[in-house]
Amino acid sequence: MTGAAEALGWEYLGIADHSKSSRQANGLSEERLFRQIEDIAALNESGRFTTRIFAGTECDILPDGSLDFEDSVLAKLDYVVVSVHSSFGQDEDTLTRRIIRAVENPRATMLGHLTGRILLEREPYHVDAAKVIDAAIANGVVIELNASPYRLDMDWRHWRRAAERGLECSINPDAHTTTSLGYVRAGINSARKGWLTREQVVNTLSLPKIEAWLARKRQRR
């Protein structure tokens, strides 16, 4: 993945594998996550690639809104994406409160795929997007624009008003293979439909600026 990102001319790439509760995705246990953090640090130090790797996790939001890893584990990471991957059938009020509780966690950097939709396959779960957006803005949490052409979530129709109110976006490829890093292009097109500018998309920042941005996010933890 690092080599593919370098070939695309990317200054940096975030690695965020699923957490342990996502058994369907072979989610990482604490021990495996710690080994990955060490491997990423070693790769960065080796100088083998010009692309810098950031160590993260896509941490499951559990049914009660708590996170799949303890704070002491999340503190070791450069960034933390929180996402729903289970109990989609909860009613709207419950699911909304569940996601807001996760967004309010000081360890959360970013909320992944707000509605969980898979286009032409799975309907979005019932969540009050406006309330979640309000919580993300209040807590300085980014909401991703998942650039997978099967997701494109958060939907472009929410972005203009949300970004004008201060919500930050990250266009993430949700890449499970090297070739799917190219999904970013679909995300850019969706962002443009939502009238987003580069100033509202955090991963347009240069490497020094994204390092400083991540450092500020970690300080609030």
- Each of the 221 residues of the chain gets a pLDDT tens digit; together they read 999 999 999 999 999 999 999 888 789 999 999 999 999 999 999 999 999 999 999 999 999 999 999 999 999 999 999 999 999 999 999 999 999 999 999 999 999 999 999 999 999 999 999 999 999 999 999 999 999 999 999 999 999 999 999 999 999 999 999 999 999 999 999 999 999 999 999 999 999 999 999 999 988 76
Amino acid at 38: E
Residue 42's pLDDT is 98
Tokens of 83: 């996402």
Among 71, 68, 72, 74, which Cα is nearest to 55's? 74
Q: Please give the single-letter amino acid code of residue 71.
A: D
- Residue 24 has a pLDDT of 80
Strand order from edge to edge, sheet including 110-111: 12-15, 52-60, 79-83, 110-111, 142-146, 169-172
* The pLDDT of residue 192: 98
List C-alpha distances in Å: 172 to 94, 183, 205. 27, 8, 14
What are the contacts of 205-212 at 24+ separation with CB within 8 A?
206/11, 207/11, 207/12, 207/52, 210/12
Q: How far apart (Å, rounded) are the C-alpha atoms in residues 174 and 160?
A: 22
Would you state the structure tokens that stand for residue 52, as one six-digit string?
Answer: 């810098």
DSSP state of 25: G
Query: What is the reported pLDDT for 221?
Result: 63
Q: Tell me what pLDDT residue 25 has.
A: 76
Instruction: Compute the distance between CA of residue 140 and CA of residue 118 in angstroms, rounded to an integer.
Output: 27
